Amino acid sequence: MGYGDYQIGNVTSSRVYYVEGLGHNLFSVGQFCDSDLEVAFRQHTCFIRNLKGVDLLTGSQENNLYTISLQDMMASSPICLLSKASK
């Protein structure tokens, strides 16, 4: 078991835990709150929002565990890798 920092866009969560064999990183609600983020839970969904109310991450509940797919989140986020000004 170990831990490290995990960065998603301009948000960094410190001390994200990795458990060998689990295949997932472990976040705590307190870690998000310590980073000035809000965590909200609904019947089968959780939301991690910034202080302006913008959803940064969305998770779903299955077997009493909320999971967040960072791959799905990254795939749906538009990213500009290179920009060039035109004349």
pLDDT digits (tens, 9 = 90+) for 18-41: 677 776 666 778 888 888 889 999
Assess if residue 82 is contained within a domain: no
Assess if residue 12 is contained within a domain: yes
Assess if residue 87 is contained within a domain: no
Assess if residue 65 is contained within a domain: yes
Q: Which residues of 22-38 are buried (b: 16+ CB within 10 A; e: fewer)?
A: eeeeebeeebbeeeebb
State residue 45's pLDDT score. Answer: 93
pLDDT digits (tens, 9 = 90+) for 41-53: 999 999 988 889 9
Best-predicted range by mean pLDDT among 44-48, 63-67, 71-75?
44-48
Q: Total domain count for the chain? A: 1
Q: State pTM to two decimals.
A: 0.59
CB 36 within 8 A of CB 51: yes
Assess if residue 85 is contained within a domain: no
Assess if residue 58 is contained within a domain: yes
- The domain in which residue 68 lies consists of 2-76
For residues 38 and 15, the model is more confident at 38
Rounded alpha-carbon distances, angstroms, from residue 26 to 12, 42, 61: 14, 20, 15
Assess if residue 17 is contained within a domain: yes
Contacts of 66 (CB under 8 A, 6+ apart): 41, 46, 59, 60
